[in-house]
């Protein structure tokens, strides 16, 4: 997904729901921090934006997004990208994520806008899912040095209620990617509960 596509989805979702700012989770949230021209292809491969309303207690707003501009909708067929209506609890996130949200609003998103996950929170959240596409996304941002591996590791380690086997697996996966430059630059803060 490119920013121009995210902006289109945000305009449409805002009009559908009558809300100004929606939460963007998943890989599209990185577009709140970086334009696609600064991102590796693996970070922009998805054709969906996961959108959540902060006030959707019964899932009705997510259903409205899916019906109007979701996968296989006329919107998706016309433009080749779409919004996935999700619940705010869909993503597994570290404590304090709300205070770190990145506001993304401009004339192209009017009347809407977005609150996107901060990049390290977004990568930590993707690693909590740990599907192939999530690992590819995280690996690409780490390799491009667009996120600090130590901060990703720290944020991931603080996500609550994860399966201990998944937690250990992801920590090991991250540790395999630590470079001498990361250690020299003091980017890695190890948690003694999750040894290398």
- Indicate if the pLDDT at residue 190 is higher than 80: no
- Confidence grade of residue 1 (pLDDT, cut at 50, 70, 90): very high
Beta strands in 5-98 (DSSP E): 21-25, 48-52, 82-85
Q: Does residue 171 sit within a domain?
A: no
Tell me what the pLDDT averaged over the chain comes to: 92
- Confidence grade of residue 85 (pLDDT, cut at 50, 70, 90): very high
Q: Does residue 12 sit within a domain?
A: yes
- Indicate if the pLDDT at residue 188 is higher than 70: no
Q: Does residue 80 sit within a domain?
A: yes
Domain holding 110, by residue range, is 3-119
Number of domains in the chain: 1
Q: What is the dihedral of CA 167, 117, 64, 19, to 10 degrees?
A: 150
Q: Does residue 41 sit within a domain?
A: yes
Q: Does residue 167 sit within a domain?
A: no
Q: Does residue 48 sit within a domain?
A: yes
Say what the pLDDT of residue 186 is.
Answer: 47
């Amino acid at each position: 997904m490119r920013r121009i596509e995210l902006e289109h989805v945000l305009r449409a979702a805002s009009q559908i729901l009558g809300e100004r700012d929606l939460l963007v989770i998943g890989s599209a949230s990185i577009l709140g921090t970086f334009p696609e021209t600064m991102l590796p292809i693996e970070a922009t491969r998805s054709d969906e934006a996961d959108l959540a309303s902060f006030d959707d207690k019964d899932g009705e707003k997510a259903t409205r997004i899916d019906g109007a501009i979701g996968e296989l909708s006329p919107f998706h067929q016309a433009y080749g990208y779409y919004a996935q209506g999700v619940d705010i609890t869909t993503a597994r996130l570290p404590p304090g994520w709300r205070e770190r949200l990145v506001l993304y609003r401009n004339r192209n998103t009017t009347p809407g806008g977005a609150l996107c996950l901060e990049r390290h929170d977004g990568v930590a959240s993707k690693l909590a899912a740990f599907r192939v596409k999530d690992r590819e996304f995280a690996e690409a941002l780490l390799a491009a040095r667009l996120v600090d591996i130590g901060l990703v590791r720290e944020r991931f380690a603080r996500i609550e209620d994860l399966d201990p086997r998944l937690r250990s697996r992801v920590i090991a996966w991250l540790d395999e990617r630590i470079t001498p430059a990361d250690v020299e630059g003091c980017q890695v803060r190890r948690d003694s509960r999750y040894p290398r």
